[in-house]
């Protein structure tokens, strides 16, 4: 019962996050983050479809979440590729995205059935890659004037949420793979991580400055 309540809460929080992102769309509509709004609504709809398929239709819904992981990680890599200014960082991030997509396809063809199994190794790989990617962004922020008003930067709050979530989700995936009998406990942990992630997003939308324009990259 408690697990179901938390699961419903996560769905409501994701919908609220998408609504708040819509309200504050004017703040980031002039940057690549304008696509983040579509991403958030996709997450909310995907969660609703996943819940309906498991609770009402009583069918395996892991394929829905596995497709989501492919789209989600690829999109997040694209965000940082667009915002990073150092070309070396951009090339590394592009390589991360390509390696992840290839690993996802190979893993699905030869090792895991994405209709029955949650993608594991590409998930862990992408999470590690994404943490490194966000670190690149933090390094650039620390070496720029933006550090003075970093808490009013929308991408900063998105990045905080992404890092916290992925730091927590890596041991979650490993533990779930090795000790699947603790599914209820691990599912609760995942939902807490998702809640933290969305709180960071909401803080970012409500507290950030309006993005005037996106700067071009440099060597």
Q: Tell me the pLDDT tens digit for each residue of 48-72.
A: 998 888 777 777 789 999 999 999 9
213 within a domain of the structure (yes/no):
no
Does residue 219 lie within any of the structural domains?
no
| Confidence label for 2 from pLDDT (cuts 50, 70 and 90) | very low
- Is residue 157 assigned to a domain? yes
For the residues 157-181, what does the mean pLDDT come to? 90
141 CB-contact burial (10 Å; exposed 0-12 / middle 13-18 / buried 19+): middle
Residue 120 has pLDDT above 50, yes or no: yes
pTM to 2 decimal places: 0.93
Asked, for residue 218, whether it belongs to a domain, the answer is: no
- Confirm whether 32 is domain-assigned: yes
Q: Which of 72, 84, 166 is nearest to 125 (CA)?
A: 166
How many domains is the chain partitioned into structurally?
Answer: 1
- Binning pLDDT at 50, 70 and 90, where does residue 215 land? low
Which structural domain, as residue segments, surrounds residue 140?
2-207
- Residue 215 lies inside a defined structural domain of this protein: no
Q: What is the pLDDT of residue 177?
A: 79
């Amino acid at each position: 019962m408690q697990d179901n309540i938390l699961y419903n809460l996560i769905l409501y929080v994701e919908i609220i996050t998408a609504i708040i992102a819509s309200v504050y769309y004017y703040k980031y509509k002039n940057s690549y983050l304008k696509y983040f709004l579509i991403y958030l609504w996709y997450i909310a709809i995907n969660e609703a479809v996943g819940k309906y398929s498991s609770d009402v239709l009583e069918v395996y819904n892991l394929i829905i979440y596995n497709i989501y992981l492919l789209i989600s990680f690829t999109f997040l890599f694209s965000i940082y590729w667009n915002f990073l200014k150092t070309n070396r960082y951009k090339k590394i991030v592009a390589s991360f995205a390509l390696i992840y997509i290839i690993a996802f396809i190979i893993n699905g063809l030869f090792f895991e059935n994405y209709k029955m199994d949650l993608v594991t190794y590409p998930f862990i790989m992408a999470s590690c890659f994404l943490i490194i990617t966000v670190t690149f962004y933090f390094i650039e922020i620390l070496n720029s004037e933006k550090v003075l008003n970093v808490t009013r930067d929308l991408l900063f709050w998105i990045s905080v949420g992404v890092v916290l979530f992925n730091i927590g989700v890596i041991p979650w995936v490993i533990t779930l793979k090795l000790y699947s009998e603790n599914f209820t406990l691990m599912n609760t942990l995942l939902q807490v991580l998702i809640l933290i992630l969305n709180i960071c997003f909401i803080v970012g939308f409500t507290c950030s400055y309006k993005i005037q324009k996106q700067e071009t990259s440099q060597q």
